[in-house]
Amino acid sequence: MIAAALTAAATNYSHLVIRQKDGKEIYVKSEALQFKVADDNLIVIQSGETLNLPLDQLSTMSFTADPLGIDNIADEDSTPVDVYSADGIFIGCFESRRSARRSLQNPGLYIFIDKNSTSKILIEQ
């Protein structure tokens, strides 16, 4: 087993965007962010929450000042999305990801499902 840890400063960026090979994007707040690699997984730790992501499923990672993800602006505005809480409770159907993000009032981790992808989205207030 090989294990590594990385602490990186991203003072000009608010979020890390992790893109997976299947097109899913995961946005993680960059404050107090930690990475570990163990057993062929990238372990992302932020504010006590942990994501375990298989390394062979990852495409790219980058920091962004815009957590809405400019790369997906067309899907942000035009693709309907169903939103669920992290524990699987249906929150609602929204006309777009952007509309869903603006409508969600409670901070937390949400699951966004549209015709093209499923993503975990962290909403902060």
Domain identity same for 77 and 58: no
Number of separate domains in the chain: 2
R_g (Cα) of the chain, nearest Å: 15
Instruction: Note the pLDDT tens digit of each residue in 97-111.
Output: 888 888 888 888 898
29 CB neighbour count, 10 Å cutoff: 15
HSE (side-chain half, CA atoms, 13 Å) at 53: 26
Residues of the domain holding 44: 3-64
Q: What is the model's pTM?
A: 0.49
Domain identity same for 59 and 106: no
Domain identity same for 59 and 75: no
Instruction: Note the pLDDT tens digit of each residue in 71-94.
Output: 333 445 578 999 998 888 999 999
Domain boundary among 64, 90, 108: 64
Nearest of 92, 108, 109 to residue 100 by alpha carbon: 92
